[in-house]
Amino acid sequence: MKHVGVPVFLRLLLQDFTKFMDSKTLMETYLMEVVQNGRLDLIKAIAQPDMIDEANRAFGGPAGRDGLIAYIKKFRSQIKNLKLEIKQIVGNENEVVAHWFFTGMHKGRWLRHEPTGKEVSADVFSFFTLKDGLISYYRLWLHAMIDGPVIFDSSCPRIEKRQI
C-alpha cells in the first residue's frame, strides 16, 4: 500500500465526505466553518469550480470558486470579531436557504460604507442552488445596521439606506 501524506489523506477524506453531505449540513459548514471560522480550504470541497457568487460578481470580483474565496477573505477583513448565529436552514437536494445573523466590528470598507470601528450587525438570507451536491449558484439578501439600516440584494446589487 502506498503511503499518502496527512494533508492529502484529509483532503481525500473530506472530498468523499462531501458526497454524502446533505444540503443543510453543506450550508451549516459554509456558514460556521468557512464564513465564521475562516476555513477557506473547505470551499473546494463544497462548491463547483465554475460556481456563480452574485455578491462577489456585483462588486467586480473574480469568477468561480476563486471569487467566493476572495469574497469571504474580503468580508472577514472588513468585519472583525465575527459572531454568527444560524436562525434556520431549509433545503432539499437541489436548493438550500439559511436565515442567519451576525455581529462584528466594522474595520474595513463594507457595502460602500467607510469603517466606523463600531459594531455592525445584519440579518442575512443565503440561497444556494446545488449541482451534484455542491454549490453552483449563490445569492444573498441582507439587512445590515451600519450607522442606520442598509439593504443589499445580490440579485439587484444596489445598496439602499432605509428610513425607518
Q: Could you report the per-residue pLDDT of 41-75, keeping only the tens digit for each? A: 999 999 999 999 998 888 888 889 999 999 999 99
Cell of 45: 470541497
CATH number for the domain harbouring residue 65: 3.10.450.50
User: In this predicted structure, what is the pLDDT of residue 3?
Assistant: 47
Tens-digit pLDDT profile for residues 132-150: 999 999 999 999 999 889 9
Handedness of CA 145, 111, 76, 58 (dihedral sign): positive
User: Mean pLDDT across the stretch 138-164?
Assistant: 78
Number of domains in the chain: 1
End-to-end CA distance of the chain: 66
Q: Look at residue 34 and tell me if it is in a domain.
A: yes
Task: For residue 61, give its domain range.
Answer: 6-161
Strand partners, 98: 89, 126
**DSSP β-bridge partners for residue 151:** 143, 160
Residue 81, in any domain of the structure: yes
Using alpha carbons, select from 36, 113, 121 the residue that is nearest to residue 76.
36
What mean pLDDT is predicted for residues 20-24? 81
What are all long-range contacts of 147-153, with beta carbons under 8 Å and residues at least 24 apart?
147/113, 147/116, 147/118, 150/111, 150/113, 152/55, 152/111
Per-residue model confidence as pLDDT tens digits over 121-131: 999 999 999 99
Spatial separation of the C-alpha atoms in residues 133 and 23, rounded to whole Å: 7
Cβ atoms < 10 Å from Cβ of 129:
15
Grid coordinates representing 90 are 431549509
Residue 123 domain-assigned (yes or no): yes
1 domain-assigned:
no
